Structure 1
Amino acid sequence: MKRFLLVFVLFVVVGIFAKPAKVFIVNLFNESVDVRLGESDNPVVHKYNLKPYSSTKLARTEKYGDYILYFKLSDSLNWYRWADEDGNVLYCSVKKDKNYCILIGNDGGINYYSLSEDNEKGPKIAFLNGSDKRVKRMEISKKWKDNVQAYCVDFDPNDLSNLVSFKKGNYSMFWQFPSQVKEDDYYYYPNEERTGPEVFKFVDGEYDLFLIYSIGDSEYGILYEITPQD
């Protein structure tokens, strides 16, 4: 009886402290898209008219299991299901305590990622190379390679990092391509006056996405706050 009670109590405690899953959607395609995970009468998450080169916020969900991913161009009536090259439908797994990203690539292809996050206090950020080029380095820092709070290196197109915690404060965005390494040149997100890097305030409990993307032959960087909305 005592053994049964202990198992029951442990199960209840684990259930109470388990965190919901979180899902966000990124569109790197050059047209607006509609995306839905799960069936229309009870979707896990959905977003209509997601603009090019943009991201949703993280959406919390307690709907766990394996789901079909549906997508279409926003100005189209025809929905498509995510499938492999042979037409076999692919399923997206949603589990407790996990974070997921649905990525619509710049070629219209789909990627589904699972992201880990630590339990450290502070803002958290994920890095995504949505450009056509390999990125040598992306970082959040006071200055280039100075007082660096979070960074990634050697990211191929469509590479996405886990969510990384760092110390709250005021920082800027910098990135570098392999062709810039020799001269240690780099790019940064400019302030409104274009006199230097924009300084962003990062606070505890905030989630952000640092995105590099391509339009034509040019690459751009942008920061999206993706903190879940209660």
Structure 2
Amino acid sequence: MLNKMLNFSIMVALSIVLLGCPSAAKYPLGDLGTVPIEKNLLGIWETSDDYDVQKVEFIENDPYSYFIKILTYNDDYFGDTYYIGYITNIGANKYLYARPLGSSGDEVNYYCFNINLTKNTMTSREVNVADTTISSTEELREYCATHYYTDDYFLSSITLWIKDAKIFFVNLRDEPFDVRLGEPYRPVFTMTNLPPHETSHLLNTTDLEDNFLYYKPSSETEWMRWKNEENIPYQCSVEGGKIHAIIAQQNGEMSYYILDDDSGFNPKISMLNGTEKKLKVMKIGESWEFNSVAFIDDFGPHEMTNFKAIPTGNYGLFWLLQDARESGYYFLTQEGTGNVKQVPFEAGRYYIYFIFSENNIFHASLYDITSLW
């Protein structure tokens, strides 16, 4: 069953910011710390055009600002990599304005962009704010309101940007396994010969479309298409800003989850019950009794959680079977000691914590699945 759980272009603009474009304002376009960020802007955005910067990421810095990180650029690029950005509205128009990270006092320059957001796409144009007579935020906003339709207000034409999606694969089978999302001539995601009870790393993609899912044991040559009981193939959507999990379940079935990706810098964790039994509890914390940072109860077979941000730190992994007493909990052990293993969770990393059974014995695994690129 298909499960769902869960105008200057911005790259040109950011490239110009980094190259010292003179069209910058000495005043912010809005009142800092008053307008909440747009959650839909969070994530990685890519352009297929040949600009100095090709990929940028927006991370929640605090409820009112973004941490903007330049991820990919060509050999012509030079300058800073990090910015702090803000959102504001002037009439019906939405703006992003950003300053280089660490700038202060007279060194602060704000670069202003008119943006339009949809679910998976964004357009933007840099605004010409080089009017040296502007002496306050109020005057800058008035300038933008009254000059929007003038010929020199925008410095270039509109460019389209696409938000990245993430995909990974978990093999709960007892043999190496292969999966492919998409057709062989244009696959969106492919993983072959993944060992039993292991996971792939996250793959970032901007191929946002519906695809067929194919799978097979690595020992076989013929791919099978994932279908329902009526022999109709499932269509697996790939959505920008989401994390997509392909699971080869231990019972022989396939699952496809579309998961939410929590915001912020903190480590992010998803939990998966890869067994045929309901779990009373899965949790992550300093101990079984105290300070849980991630927790789920009455966790059904083959269910999976969205990715949740947790504080950085060292934590144990615990679980409890449905019919067990509270004192009968299990935990991931430190090899050779029998004590609770304290696992480090680092900022900016993605983790998957899953339970599986082998010969009627339950096991826990934790993998860092952060993208390698």
Can you give the 5+ residue segments of structure 1 that lack an aligned partner in the other structure?
none
Find the counterpart in structure 2 of residue 211 from structure 1: 354
Find the counterpart in structure 2 of residue 25 from structure 1: 169
Find the counterpart in structure 2 of residue 98 from structure 1: 242
Cα separation, partners in 2 of 1:6 and 1:200, compared to 1, 3 Å: closer
CA distance, structure 1, for counterparts of residue 335 and residue 160 of structure 2? 47
1:155 partnered with 2:266:
no
* Preserved contact between residue 170 and residue 247 of structure 2 (Cα < 8 Å): yes
What does the per-residue CA deviation read over 1:14-71, in whole Å, with 9 as the maximum and x for residues that have no partner?
955x630001111111111110001112211110001111111111111110001111
Of the two structures, which has the highest relative contact order with CA contacts closer than 8 Å and spacing of 6 or more?
1
TM-score, normalised to structure 1, is 0.92
CA distance, structure 2, for counterparts of residue 124 and residue 221 of structure 1? 18
Letter in 2 for 1:173: L
Letter in 1 for 2:236: C
Cα separation, partners in 2 of 1:9 and 1:128, compared to 1, 3 Å: closer
Find the counterpart in structure 1 of residue 264 from structure 2: 120
* Preserved contact between residue 241 and residue 261 of structure 2 (Cα < 8 Å): no
Letter in 2 for 1:219: F
CA distance, structure 2, for counterparts of residue 149 and residue 179 of structure 1? 24
CA distance, structure 1, for counterparts of residue 352 and residue 286 of structure 2? 18
Instruction: Give 1:12's match in structure 2, choosing from 116, 123, 131.
Output: 123
CA distance, structure 2, for counterparts of residue 19 and residue 150 of structure 1? 27
Letter in 1 for 2:123: V
Find the counterpart in structure 1 of residue 340 from structure 2: 197
What does the per-residue CA deviation read over 1:167-207, in whole Å, with 9 as the maximum and x for residues that have no partner?
001111111112223x4321010001233011111111111
CA distance, structure 2, for counterparts of residue 6 and residue 195 of structure 1? 56
CA distance, structure 2, for counterparts of residue 9 and residue 209 of structure 1? 34
1:184 is paired with a residue whose SS is helix
Q: Matched residues, percent identical?
A: 33
What does the per-residue CA deviation read over 1:47-100, in whole Å, with 9 as the maximum and x for residues that have no partner?
000111111111111111000111111111111101111211111001111111
* Preserved contact between residue 208 and residue 240 of structure 2 (Cα < 8 Å): yes
Find the counterpart in structure 1 of residue 331 from structure 2: 188
Structure possessing the higher radius of gyration over alpha carbons: 2
Letter in 2 for 1:222: S
- Number of residue pairs matched by the alignment: 226
CA distance, structure 2, for counterparts of residue 125 and residue 114 of structure 1? 15
Instruction: Give 1:60's match in structure 2, choosing from 189, 192, 204.
Output: 204
Find the counterpart in structure 2 of residue 89 from structure 1: 233
2:311 is paired with a residue whose SS is coil
1:51 partnered with 2:162:
no
CA distance, structure 2, for counterparts of residue 9 and residue 142 of structure 1? 43
TM-score, normalised to structure 2, is 0.58
Instruction: Give 1:144's match in structure 2, choosing from 280, 283, 288.
Output: 288
CA distance, structure 2, for counterparts of residue 48 and residue 163 of structure 1? 25
CA distance, structure 2, for counterparts of residue 224 and residue 45 of structure 1? 19
Instruction: Give 1:167's match in structure 2, choosing from 311, 314, 317.
Output: 311
Cα separation, partners in 2 of 1:86 and 1:185, compared to 1, 3 Å: same
1:57 is paired with a residue whose SS is coil
Cα separation, partners in 2 of 1:68 and 1:191, compared to 1, 3 Å: same
